[in-house]
Amino acid sequence: MSRIDARFNELKAQKRKAFVAYVMAGDPDFDTSLELVKGLPAAGVDIIELGLPFTDPMADGPTIQLAGQRALDGGMTLDKTLGLARAFRVTDQKTPIVMMGYYNPIYSRGVDTFLEQAKEAGIDGLIVVDLPPEEDDELCIPAQKAGLNFIRLATPTTDDNRLPRVMQNTSGFVYYVSITGITGAAEAQAAVVGPEVARIKAVSDLPVIVGFGVRTPETARAVAGVADGTVVGSAIVAQIEAGKPVPEILEFVRSLADGAHAA
């Protein structure tokens, strides 16, 4: 059982929804990023999504794109991202970490080498947004054989014919993208999300976590109320971009987590 599976089992036993927080590794710099990531569990974060900086983040909105650019400008690399996860694991062996990014840096490293290094660093799952199910042999299946969950995105445009194929090799949880478009573009609507979550659950037993368009505790609570939890990324990254100190950012994160956990 992975840390992700164990965390969802705990949440189910507690009858609590999950709160997932996304941050870009190395934004605004390695040390600040590590301090923030270390503080997330105490701020109520159940699962950490750690962004892997990439030069061409086609699915991300301006906020996440700029975060990745700041990280790259500061010298962040795949090795340093794994190093950040490794440093986090020195004091936290329980909180799941999902690395989220694009396939090119992984392909350049070599899949087998990357998976071995990711596992050793304490990564529990992967979200690779530019690998469709037709490419499962590239990374998805090897990742699962290596003991990492491979988390797939479902979107409003994933129709009933496509959905079973998307779910086929997904593990850990399903990440439902609540809006069509890029990250941070619009606000999620629970009334719209609810039927889509039910549609996914009809073909999968996995938890469904909803992301994109969640920026306030109120929206976090509403969205988590119709799903198994929610993800917040751009709103947290915007706090980093604004130059707020880590304790203030963590207080904001706690308000979002409290909203999700109140669902």
- Based on its alpha-carbon atoms, the radius of gyration of the chain, rounded to whole angstroms, reads 17
Q: Work out the percent of the chain whose per-residue pLDDT is above 70.
A: 97
Phi, psi of 160 (to 5 degrees): -65, -25
User: What pLDDT is stored for residue 178 in this prediction?
Assistant: 87
- Give me 99's structure tokens: 């690395």
What's the whole-number mean pLDDT along residues 97-105? 97
pLDDT tens, 7-21?
A: 999 999 999 999 999
What DSSP element (H or E) covers 154? strand 152-154
DSSP 8-state symbol, 182: S
Q: What is the pLDDT of residue 181?
A: 56
> Are 61 and 182 in contact, with CB atoms under 8 Å apart?
yes
Which strands sit side by side in the sheet containing 152-154, from one edge to the other?
149-150, 125-128, 97-101, 47-51, 18-24, 229-232, 208-211, 174-177, 152-154
For residue 28, say if its preceding peptide bond is cis, omega within 30 degrees of 0. Answer: yes
pLDDT band, very low/low/confident/very high, at 247 (cuts 50, 70, 90)? very high
Asked whether residue 179 carries a pLDDT value surpassing 80, the answer given is no
Fold of 3-261: TIM Barrel (3.20.20)
pLDDT for res 180: 63
The domain segmentation of the chain, as residue ranges, is 3-261
* pLDDT reading at 184 higher than 60: no
> Contact at 8 Å (CB) between 223 and 193?
yes
Task: Please state the separation of Cα 15 from the chain's center in Å.
Answer: 21
Residue from 5, 60, 136, 196 carrying the catalytic annotation: 60
Give the model's pLDDT for residue 189.
83
**What token pair was written down for 257?**
């987590």
- Whether 60 is a known active-site residue: answer yes
Residues in the chain, how many? Answer: 263
Q: Is the pLDDT of residue 182 over 70?
A: no
Mean pLDDT to the nearest integer, 37-52: 98
pLDDT band at 190 (very low <50, low <70, confident <90, very high): confident
Residue 2: which of 117, 152, 171, 137 has the closest Cα? 171
Mean pLDDT of 178-203: 80
Phi first, then psi, for residue 155 (nearest 5°) are: -130, 170
Q: Which of 5, 27, 46, 49 is catalytic?
A: 49
Which sign, positive or negative, has the C-alpha torsion 102, 108, 109, 115?
Answer: positive
CA nearest neighbour of 232 among 66, 8, 22: 22
Q: How wide is the angle at C-alpha 96 spanned by C-alphas 93 and 97, nearest 5°?
A: 110
Instruction: Kindly give, in sequence order, each residue whose CB lies less than 8 Å from that of residue 163, ignoring residues fewer than 6 positions away.
Output: 154, 199, 200, 203
Structure tokens at 60: 């991300």
Residue 251 main-chain phi, psi, to 5 deg: -65, -40
Nearest to 173 by CA among 145, 192, 201: 201
The whole-angstrom separation of Cα 263 and Cα 245 is: 28
Backbone angles phi and psi of 105, in degrees to 5: -65, -35
What's the pTM value of the predicted model, to 2 decimals?
0.95
Distance CA 144, CA 101 (A): 17
